[in-house]
Copies of this chain bind each other. A is one copy, B any other.
Amino acid sequence: MNLRERKKQRTRDALLRAALELFATRGYDETTVDDIAAAVDVSQRTFFRYFAGKEETAFFVPRLAEGLVVQALQVRPPDEAPLEALRRAVLESWDTISEAVEEIVPIDLHLRVYRVIESTPALFAAHLRRSAELEEQLARIIAEREGLDVDADPRPRIVVALFGGVIRVTERLWSAGDELSLAGMRQLTTTYLDQVGPALAGNWRTEQSP
C-alpha cells in the first residue's frame, strides 16, 4: 500500500470517527460538515470527496452489517424454513459484526450513534429506506432458495416484510431502553421472533404473552 493510499485511508477513517463522535455527543443536526472537517483539519470540500453526504457517515456501520446479513442468508441450508433462515442469518451476522468493524469504528461508538439514528427524523427515514432495500434483496434470495419468481409469487416478499417489521419493532424498543449492548439486542430479537406465531394465531384474549 502506497504512502498516498495510506494517507487517504487515514483521512477517511479520521473523518468517519470524528463525524460519529460528534453525532453521538452533540447530535446529528447540531453537527455541521464544517465541524467534522475542522475536527480533522481538512477543508469541507475534502469531506465531500470522501463521502457523498453527511448522512453517509452515519450509516457506515449499518452498511457493513447489511452486507453481512445478505452473505449469511446466502449460505443458509436451503431446507430451512424461510423465517428460520432469516432469523439465523441475522443472529449470525451479529456475531461477526464486531470484529468486522472494530478496527475502524469501536462498536460501542456505533451503538451510541444508532440511538441518534433512531431519534433523528431525517436519519430514521433514511434508515427505513435502507431497510426497504435490504428487504428487497433478502426477498430475492428467499425466492431463489424456494425456487420461486419474486415478481410472480407474493410470498417471499410477505415473509421478509413480516420479518423486517419485527426487527424494526425490536430495534426501536432496544434503542429506547438502556440495555445498549449486542447481547440485549439479541435477547429482544429472539423473544420477539418467538412471538410471531402467537401474534398471528388464536385469540389474544385467552392467551397471555410471556
- Residue numbers of A with Cβ under 8 A of B are 82-83, 121, 124-126, 128-129, 132, 146-148, 152-155, 157-162, 164-166, 168-169, 191-192, 195-196, 198-200, 204-205, 209
* B200 and A148 contact, CB distance less than 8 A: no
Smallest beta-carbon distance A3→chain B, Å: 37
Q: Which of B83, B124, B161 contacts A165 (CB 8 A)?
A: B161
Chain B hits for A160, CB < 8 A: 165
Q: Which of B148, B162, B204 contacts A204 (CB 8 A)?
A: B148
Question: A154's closest neighbor in chain B, by CB?
Answer: B195
* B165 and A169 contact, CB distance less than 8 A: no
Number of copies of chain A assembled together: 2
Chain B hits for A148, CB < 8 A: 204, 209
Question: A204's closest neighbor in chain B, by CB?
Answer: B146
Q: Which of B83, B166, B198, B204 contacts A161 (CB 8 A)?
A: B166
* B146 and A169 contact, CB distance less than 8 A: no
* B128 and A199 contact, CB distance less than 8 A: no
Chain B hits for A164, CB < 8 A: 161, 165
Chain B hits for A166, CB < 8 A: 158, 161
Chain B hits for A192, CB < 8 A: 154, 158
Q: Measured between alpha carbons, how far is A164 from B154 in the docked complex, in Å?
A: 15
Chain B hits for A195, CB < 8 A: 154-155, 158
* B125 and A158 contact, CB distance less than 8 A: no
Question: A168's closest neighbor in chain B, by CB?
Answer: B161
What are 8 pairs between A and B in contact, CB < 8 Å? A128-B128, A128-B132, A132-B168, A153-B209, A158-B166, A159-B200, A162-B165, A200-B200
Chain B hits for A129, CB < 8 A: 121, 124-125, 128
Q: Measured between alpha carbons, how far is A109 from B128 in the docked complex, in Å?
A: 26
Q: Measured between alpha carbons, how far is A160 from B172 in the docked complex, in Å?
A: 15
* B199 and A158 contact, CB distance less than 8 A: yes
